[in-house]
């Protein structure tokens, strides 16, 4: 499963958000079922970006979404940066290819 979040930040806060994101994810530690996580800054909008996380299965992703670590540690640190435009999309990965 792939979880994609698109968010629009308050103007001029990307650098602070990125630091907060890296810090809170380091504090959160290993998450059961999480295979990878990425933070991407939109190249055409200085105040927008995406996070993508790859999960072993839907159950692991849903467990994370309802976990205390997300609700009480991660979101309180990151939500203050968002302007209100925040969407989450969940996808079933149907094909993957990796290159060196």
pLDDT at 15 over 90: yes
Q: Which stretches within the chain are classed as H helix?
A: 14-28, 58-65, 68, 75-78
Within a domain: 26: yes
Total structural domains in the chain? 1
Q: Using DSSP, state whether 51 is helix, strand or coil.
A: strand
Mean pLDDT, residues 6-16: 97
- Enter the pTM of the model: 0.90
The predicted-structure confidence for 22-75, as pLDDT tens digits, reads as follows 999 999 989 999 999 999 999 999 999 999 999 999 999 999 999 999 999 999
* The predicted structure's pLDDT at residue 59: 97
> Which residue range(s) make up the domain with 33?
2-91
Q: Tokens for 98?
A: 């990796």
Helix (H) or strand (E) holding 90: strand 82-91
What is the percent of the chain where pLDDT is above 70?
100
Check: CB of residue 73 under 8 Å from CB of residue 28: yes
Within a domain: 40: yes
């Amino acid at each position: 499963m792939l979880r994609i979040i698109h968010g629009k930040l308050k103007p001029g806060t990307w650098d602070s958000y990125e630091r907060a994101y890296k810090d809170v994810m380091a504090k959160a530690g290993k998450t059961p079922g999480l295979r990878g996580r990425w933070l991407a800054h939109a190249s055409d909008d200085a105040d927008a970006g995406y996070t993508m996380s790859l999960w072993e299965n839907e159950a692991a992703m849903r467990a994370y979404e309802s976990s205390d670590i997300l609700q009480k540690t991660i979101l309180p640190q990151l939500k203050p940066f968002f302007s209100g435009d925040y969407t989450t999309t969940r996808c079933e990965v149907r094909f993957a290819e990796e290159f060196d």
